[in-house]
Amino acid sequence: MSEAPVSISTRDGIRTLTVQRPEKLNALNRQTLESLDAAFADAAQADEVRVVVLTGAGPKAFVAGADIAEMNGLTPVQGRDFSLIGQRLMRRIERLNKPVIAMVNGFALGGGMELAMACHLRIAADSAKVGQPEINLGLLPGFGGTQRLLRLAGRAAALELCLLGAPIDAARAQQLGLLNRVVPAAELEAETLKVATQLANAAPLALRGILDAINVGGECGIEEGLEYESAQFGLAFSTEDMREGTRAFLERRTPEFKNR
């Protein structure tokens, strides 16, 4: 029996999902996309999970793209269905009610870059490479790459990466706003754990409100976004965590949030 395409582990409120296809540079076939979708759906419902870290197995790749061998035999209808499966996963990640960190340990190309862009934060090794090389296969990004690149890095960068199809290094990707942090490869796991631990100890309901407000604001006009922010801000005053957080500040101690 072959190994599951995604491994799952949880410790101290941090759930780590690892794409386990190192022999294929963790390429995304249909089974892997569906396994990731199920894993993120479970993380959303699991009370013990405060933050999710997503990475790829092996030293070479986060996810090097979609599985080209599988795509080669698809019909136009099957190709559209494959795209929709990928887009469904990316939207699930993007809308997850808990922070998701992409730990980019190597190549994040094509579907891998689309996967990383769907995460809320991206921390990469300085040796990582990112890009949308689909044009070199006679294709275009199909898991949301054109749209998220446009929103994260702007029109010029989106056109450059998609039209030229050449990968860029981590330093340039950070300059374009595609990566939050770039660290030496040997420090990647420790830095990601540090950020994940900070998020796991933060107020969960406030984290959820922030994620919701930014998602809504990114998809509507400023007035609608501001109205939604005010509503979320007001709701926070109904939580025990808000009382605990403000009380701890006044008492000069570390708050103990209870997710209620």
Catalytic residue positions, numbered: 114, 134
Contacts of 229 (CB under 8 A, 6+ apart): 213, 217
Q: What six digits make up the tokens of 56?
A: 């790829």
Dihedral sign from CA coordinates of 218, 219, 223, 226: negative
- Greatest Cα pair distance in the chain: 64
Could you tell me how many helices (H) and strands (E) the chain has, helices first?
11, 10
DSSP characters for 216-253?
Answer: HHTTS-HHHHHHHHHHHHHHHTTSHHHHHHHHHHHTTS
d(CA 247, CA 25): 49
CA 11 to chain centre: 19
